[in-house]
């Protein structure tokens, strides 16, 4: 056993690792508001992990809200639905707001009617496992915690990876964001009903709804709601408040005391983790026949009136910010997501996608990067027991073949290391460069 492996193993034995940034949950008490619908939406054909969806409409077509406008093209892909009724004004190549890649997008101009396709309510108990999964797939449900992985795939684990536990992830550990918190407070019935559907599909023995301790209203609301029901196998689990508690491997460790094997997935230990927003979307798709065209987002930071809004995909950030009273003086940086994992935007006209849970306006702070002082703070906070300073050293020296030795691929890019770095080193940027170089080495062989 090497010394670095021993250090990492000892760190993973700690009760909790991570950081405690200021919460800034200024919208925790802000009820979810239905937004004034925009006049126009721009929908990316890739709002999910995997292959882009294939267009089924052309310029000039008239569509209804919820109408399928692009179909999945591969196993890892998801369909896209119109989020407004109106006319397809143009089809173009645009820069994706989350990846920076050129991607095909459809622009729909609203007719003001919000005329929906017909949806049919059904009793989920009367559906087979296959019918439930098909409904989730057709509705375009993807992970709403940020990953965007097609949900129907997660509902079909390999036969040799049976799932015994489902964890509904309501941690929402990143600062500013309260979309999931308000969903659990205001719509616990959708979360619990969706969780029951997932349990039945997975044939799971038990389920946990995991919420951080700093969300007392959500805890009380779900505890009271569960008390009304006879669900002996569904439990509420109160987590310590710590970032990145919402990451799947950290959550499983905290709730079940089980380590996901290095390089493995939650299913390797018999667990399925789903964001509470995704679980509510599963209920909407299965029981209501509703395609995924909207979600709750937190619009916050340096805006006049921070809010939680029910937002149609393809809406621009400028429209949402206007609904919140505009930008306060000094607000000069726009992020999709929170301050730890958010993606900076080039324009306020960037459209939101399925993976966006927060629109954050903040004041940019220029940080001068200095040399590493080897203080080891990045090591002590890493939830995966890694040594980020070694990633930084080897990427700077372009010694990429040593990165795998320090388990670079295990990094979840949570940003805890960069947050505590006294030298202001953007460690996640170095880590992403290292991962890209390792991938190039693998594909070149």
Q: Residue 443: what pLDDT?
A: 65
As a residue count, the chain comes to 445
Residue-wise pLDDT for 137-179, tens only, equals: 999 999 998 889 999 999 999 999 999 999 999 999 999 999 9
Q: Residue 436: what pLDDT?
A: 87
SS3 310: strand
Q: Residue 331: what pLDDT?
A: 95
129: pLDDT strictly greater than 60: yes
The proportion of the chain whose per-residue pLDDT surpasses 70, expressed as a percent, equals 96
Q: How far is CA 39 from CA 63, 109, 116, in A?
A: 14, 6, 16
C-alpha 87: how far from its chain's center? 30
421-445: average pLDDT = 86
User: Taking the C-alpha atoms of 65, 69, 73 and 77 in order, what is their torsion angle to the nearest 10 degrees?
Assistant: -30
Mention the CATH class of domain 124-288. Answer: alpha beta
Question: In the 3-class helix/strand/coil scheme, how is 331-382 assigned residue by residue?
Answer: CCEEEECCCCCCEECCCCCCECCCCCCEEEEECCCCCCCCCCCCCCHHHHHC
Return d(Cα 40, Cα 110) in angstroms, integer. 6
- 444 or 163: which carries more pLDDT confidence? 163
Q: Residue 3: what pLDDT?
A: 38
Q: Residue 239: what pLDDT?
A: 97
**Residues 262, 279 contacting (CB under 8 angstroms):** no
**Residues 234, 192 contacting (CB under 8 angstroms):** yes
Spell out the domain ranges in the chain: 3-20+370-444, 35-109+293-362, 124-288
SS3 232: coil
Q: Residue 444: what pLDDT?
A: 61
pLDDT band of residue 366 (cuts 50, 70, 90) is confident
**Residues 401, 439 contacting (CB under 8 angstroms):** no
238-258: average pLDDT = 96
Return d(Cα 279, Cα 281) in angstroms, integer. 5
Q: Which two tokens stand for residue 359?
A: 């629109």
Q: Is 194 exposed, middle or buried (0-12, 13-18, 19+ CB in 10 A)?
A: buried
pTM, two decimal places: 0.92
DSSP string, 373-429: ----HHHHH-TT---HHHHHHHHHTT-GGGTGGGTGGG-----HHHHH-TT---HHH
Among residues 87, 84, 143, the alpha carbon closest in space to that of 276 is found at 143
Return d(Cα 174, Cα 366) in angstroms, integer. 21
Phi, psi of 130 (to 5 degrees): -65, -40
Among residues 99, 86, 88, 108, the alpha carbon closest in space to that of 46 is found at 99
Mean residue pLDDT across the chain: 93
Q: Residue 1: what pLDDT?
A: 38
**3-class SS shares of the chain: helix, strand, coil, % to 5:** 30, 20, 45
Residue-wise pLDDT for 374-387, tens only, equals: 999 999 999 999 99
Q: Residue 17: what pLDDT?
A: 72
**Residues 416, 383 contacting (CB under 8 angstroms):** yes
pLDDT band of residue 344 (cuts 50, 70, 90) is very high
Residue-wise pLDDT for 197-213, tens only, equals: 999 999 999 999 999 99
Q: Which two tokens stand for residue 42?
A: 């721009």
- 76 or 8: which carries more pLDDT confidence? 76
Return d(Cα 303, Cα 311) in angstroms, integer. 17
**Residues 204, 272 contacting (CB under 8 angstroms):** yes
């Amino acid at each position: 056993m090497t010394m670095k492996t021993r250090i990492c193993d000892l760190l993973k034995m700690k009760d909790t690792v991570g950081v405690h940034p200021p919460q800034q949950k200024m919208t925790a008490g802000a009820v979810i508001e239905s937004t004034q619908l925009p006049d126009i939406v721009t929908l990316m054909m890739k709002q999910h992990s995997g292959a882009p969806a294939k267009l089924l409409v052309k310029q000039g077509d008239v569509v209804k809200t919820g109408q399928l406008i692009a179909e999945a093209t591969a196993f890892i892909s998801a369909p896209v639905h119109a989020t407004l009724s109106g006319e397809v004004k143009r089809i173009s190549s645009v820069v994706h707001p989350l990846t920076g890649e050129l991607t095909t997008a459809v622009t729909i101009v609203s007719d003001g009617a919000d005329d929906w396709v017909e949806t049919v309510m059904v009793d989920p108990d009367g559906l087979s496992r296959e019918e439930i999964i098909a409904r989730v797939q057709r509705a375009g449900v993807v992970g709403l915690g940020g990953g965007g992985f097609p949900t129907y795939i997660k509902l079909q684990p390999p036969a040799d990876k049976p799932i015994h536990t489902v964890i509904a992830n309501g941690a929402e550990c990143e600062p500013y964001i309260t979309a999931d918190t308000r969903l659990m407070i205001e719509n616990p019935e959708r979360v619990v009903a969706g969780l029951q559907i997932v349990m039945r599909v997975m044939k799971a023995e038990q389920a946990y709804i995991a919420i951080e301790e700093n969300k007392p209203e959500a805890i009380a609301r779900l505890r009271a709601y569960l008390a009304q029901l006879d669900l002996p196998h569904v439990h509420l689990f109160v987590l310590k408040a710590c970032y990145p508690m919402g990451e799947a491997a950290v959550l499983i460790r905290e709730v079940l005391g089980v380590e996901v094997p290095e390089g493995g997935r939650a299913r390797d230990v018999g667990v399925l983790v789903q964001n509470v927003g995704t679980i509510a979307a599963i209920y909407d798709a299965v029981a209501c026949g509703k395609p995924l065209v909207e979600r709750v987002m937190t619009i916050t930071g340096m805006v006049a009136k921070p809010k939680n809004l029910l937002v149609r995909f393809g809406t621009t950030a400028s429209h949402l910010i206007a609904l919140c009273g505009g930008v306060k003086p000094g607000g000069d940086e726009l992020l999709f997501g929170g301050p730890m994992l958010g993606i900076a935007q080039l324009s306020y006209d960037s459209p939101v996608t399925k993976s966006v849970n927060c629109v954050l306006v903040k004041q940019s702070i220029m940080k001068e990067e200095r040399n590493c002082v080897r203080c080891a703070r990045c090591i002590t906070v890493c939830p995966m027991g890694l040594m980020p300073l070694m990633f930084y050293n080897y990427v700077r020296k372009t010694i990429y073949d040593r990165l795998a030795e320090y388990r670079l691929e295990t990094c979840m890019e949570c940003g805890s290391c960069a947050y505590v770095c006294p030298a202001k080193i953007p460690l996640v940027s170095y880590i992403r460069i290292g991962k890209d170089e390792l991938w190039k080495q693998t594909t070149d062989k």
